């Protein structure tokens, strides 16, 4: 028997495989049924008697057995997403594990039984596939669900017109999570994924003072040679006085020779935001991130980029362009770890107006002699000669400033 452990997601979940070797003398031994064991523990600990001993019992009956130690003390639906990802992983690696991908079942105990019930009833009408898993609000669905039912799109069918991109809504007094997991495979085309968040705060609560928070959590698993462009736009609107809060998280795993371009825009109406983006790149993978932010009033925006360039000749280009007006503050933190022969570049260009402030804090770590890492930063006010030149063309000072800012953020 071969025992193998695989990390699932980024919250500490571990899938353990108990694989029986192929036995030519046994009919169909190269395509065995598989069972995924989900132990109990109240989502607070893992019950050991309901873990490996159960897998070994199923193995003795001829199954290829797997156990999932899902993450603990994490909010719903994180354990469910991890269970879905485990099923996806088993099916994608069916030949490696001598598994029949059409005969994968799950068994659970206590909290694990609850998880199996959700896995069986809350992942769409079709089986979980290797293509993608979407979670909208708090309800996970498979990508094969009708698009008009859950606003879910197959990755290849996502529209490119910004006006028709999927939209998630949050209203005053509400904090919601939208978790979406994309599995991107090579089909010779660049796929476009778009995501827009709008906050409606007026008329939801009588007093109009309740805060509204949206946590957009996105996971990208990009296979060899695949290409994807991800567009994200955050907008806050409404007349209420409560805080409009956005805390997006993006996690990216890029296989060999893959490419991803990520464009994010946040121009107005968001009072507080904390963006956290992490990426791991294998050989010849290339990641390009372009961020545009404008804050005003007393708004606060934080951006954290962490990129591990693990593969040979992998590269990353992180560029943030921002404008801080009023009393607003922006914080830009970029971390690039060059763990092989690679190229990494981060850049923060910012205009400060009124009493706005901007902090740029880079961290470059070269763990290989052939790692080439660069950071650039330029922060300052609008040059007086730029204003003067536009004002000689008949623009007022305010109009000239607006034109400069508009061009800077393009």
- CB-based contacts of 384, cutoff 8 Å, min separation 6: none
Question: pTM to 2 decimals?
Answer: 0.60
Lowest mean pLDDT across 80-94, 184-198, 320-334, 352-366: 184-198
Q: Which residues pair with 346 in a beta bridge?
A: 318, 375
Work out the pLDDT band at 45, boundaries 50, 70, 90.
very high
Token duo for residue 141:
């669905």
Identify the burial level of 108 via C-beta atoms within 10 angstroms of its C-beta, where 0-12 means exposed, 13-18 middle and 19 or more buried: buried
Residue with tokens 């007026």, as numbered in its chain: 202
What is the percent of the chain with per-residue pLDDT over 70, rounded to a whole number?
71
Least Cα distance to 123 among 148, 103, 150 occurs for: 150
Lowest mean pLDDT across 83-97, 140-154, 392-406: 140-154
Average of per-residue pLDDT across 275-292 = 95
Lowest mean pLDDT across 93-97, 274-278, 303-307, 381-385: 381-385
Q: Can you tell me whether residue 100 is helix, strand or coil?
A: strand
Average of per-residue pLDDT across 368-388 = 86
Torsion of CA 119, 121, 125, 130, to 10 degrees: 0
Q: Can you tell me whether residue 309 is helix, strand or coil?
A: strand
Residue 112: HSE in the Cβ half-sphere, 13 Å Cα cutoff: 22
- Tens digit of pLDDT for each residue in 50-97? 999 999 999 988 899 999 999 998 776 678 878 888 888 888 888 899
For residue 217, is pLDDT > 80?
no
User: What pLDDT is stored for residue 310 in this prediction?
Assistant: 96
Q: How far apart are CA 307 and CA 321, in angstroms?
A: 19
User: What pLDDT is stored for residue 199 in this prediction?
Assistant: 33
User: What pLDDT is stored for residue 349 in this prediction?
Assistant: 93
Work out the pLDDT band at 401, boundaries 50, 70, 90.
confident
User: Strands, DSSP E only, in 130-205?
Assistant: 132-136, 139-142, 167-171, 175-184, 190-200
User: What pLDDT is stored for residue 237 in this prediction?
Assistant: 65
Lowest mean pLDDT across 29-33, 272-276, 329-333, 384-388: 384-388
For residue 372, is pLDDT > 60?
yes
Mean pLDDT of the chain: 77
Average of per-residue pLDDT across 281-306 = 94
Work out the pLDDT band at 168, boundaries 50, 70, 90.
very low
Helix, strand, coil shares of the chain, percent, nearest 5, are 20, 45, 35
Average of per-residue pLDDT across 299-322 = 96
């Amino acid at each position: 028997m071969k025992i193998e452990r695989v990390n699932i997601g980024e919250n500490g979940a571990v899938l353990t495989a108990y694989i029986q070797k192929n036995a030519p003398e046994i009919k169909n031994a190269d395509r065995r049924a598989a069972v995924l064991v989900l132990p109990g523990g109240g989502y607070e600990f893992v019950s050991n008697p309901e873990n490996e001993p159960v897998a070994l019992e199923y193995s003795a009956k001829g199954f290829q057995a797997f156990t999932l130690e899902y993450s603990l003390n994490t909010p719903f639906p994180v354990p469910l997403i991890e269970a879905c990802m485990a099923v996806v992983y088993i099916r994608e690696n069916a030949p490696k594990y001598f598994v029949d991908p059409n005969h994968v079942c799950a068994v659970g105990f206590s909290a694990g039984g609850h998880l199996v019930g959700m896995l069986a009833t809350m992942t769409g009408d079709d089986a979980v596939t290797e293509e993608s898993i979407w979670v909208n609000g708090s309800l996970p669905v498979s990508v094969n669900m009708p698009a008009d039912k859950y606003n879910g799109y197959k990755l290849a069918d996502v529209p490119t017109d910004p006006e028709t991109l999927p939209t998630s809504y949050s209203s005053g007094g509400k904090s919601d999570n939208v978790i979406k997991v994309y599995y991107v495979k090579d089909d010779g085309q660049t796929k476009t994924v778009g995501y827009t968040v709008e906050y409606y705060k007026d008329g939801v609560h009588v007093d109009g003072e309740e805060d509204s928070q949206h946590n957009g959590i996105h996971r990208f698993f990009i296979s060899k040679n695949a290409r994807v462009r991800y567009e994200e736009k955050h907008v806050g609107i409404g007349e209420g006085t409560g805080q409009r809060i956005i805390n997006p998280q993006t996690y990216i795993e890029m296989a060999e020779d893959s490419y991803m371009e990520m464009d994010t825009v946040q121009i107005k109406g968001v009072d507080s935001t904390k963006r956290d983006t992490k990426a791991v790149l294998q050989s010849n993978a290339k990641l390009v991130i372009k961020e545009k932010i404008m804050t005003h009033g007393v708004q606060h925006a934080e951006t954290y980029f962490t990129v591990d360039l693990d593969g040979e000749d992998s590269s990353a280009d992180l560029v943030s362009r921002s404008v801080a007006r009023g009393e607003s503050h922006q914080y830009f933190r970029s971390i690039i770890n060059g763990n092989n022969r690679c190229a990494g570049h981060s850049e923060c260009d910012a205009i400060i107006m009124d009493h706005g402030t901007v902090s740029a804090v880079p961290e470059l770590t070269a763990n290989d002699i052939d790692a080439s890492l660069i950071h650039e930063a330029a922060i300052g006010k609008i040059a007086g000669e730029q204003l003067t030149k536009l004002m000689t063309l008949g623009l007022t000072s305010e109009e000239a400033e607006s034109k400069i800012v508009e061009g800077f953020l393009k």
